[in-house]
Copies of this chain bind each other. A is one copy, B any other.
């Protein structure tokens, strides 16, 4: 550990800072969710279902930034625990609308409180305006990265307004497996 190498370009990279913050957030969330016996994907799933009941497995997967298979496994585990319910037959297409059970809602409430505390701690040094701007900038970055990779929606992506919502979870969440063809 010599005193060489001050701050390199690494610390100047936004991507590195993003990875660092995401890693720290994930670790803190994992630690906070451990007492509730929930992993981060499981919590994401519950939170998604709490705010948008009736989502399908694929929608949840996109919302939690994992693959459909992973979300299916998570969903299966939650279902075995009695936290979510899925009808055996699809009412409309092939999508099975998932919903929270009372137990699931209770678990979500506890987990959400813990996660909210973590997020507050993360943002403790930032003012309200800075938080809002940070959120918007992150969404902008994600939107800018989602578009040109394959050629989906090109129009927006830069504005502060997130014009999503009509679809399942968020229009900007199409990554992680689209596979151009």
A residues sitting closer than 8 Å to B (CB atoms) are: 1, 3, 5-15, 17-29, 31, 44, 47-48, 51-52, 59, 63, 65, 95, 115, 118-119, 121-126, 130-131, 133-135, 137-146, 148-150, 154, 156-159, 162, 164-170, 172-177
**Partner of A8 from B22, B52, B158 at Cβ < 8 Å:** B52
- Kindly state the separation between the CA atoms of A154 and B12 in the bound complex, as whole angstroms: 23
Identical chains bound together, number? 2
The answer to whether A145 and B11 touch (CB under 8 A), given A21-B138, A65-B19, is no
A126 touches B141 (CB 8 A): yes
- Kindly state the separation between the CA atoms of A18 and B148 in the bound complex, as whole angstroms: 20
- Kindly state the separation between the CA atoms of A145 and B31 in the bound complex, as whole angstroms: 11
B156 touches A125 (CB 8 A): yes
A20 touches B142 (CB 8 A): yes
Chain B residue with Cβ nearest A160 = B125
B138 touches A20 (CB 8 A): yes
B22 touches A154 (CB 8 A): no
The answer to whether A24 and B141 touch (CB under 8 A), given A5-B52, A51-B9, A135-B14, is yes
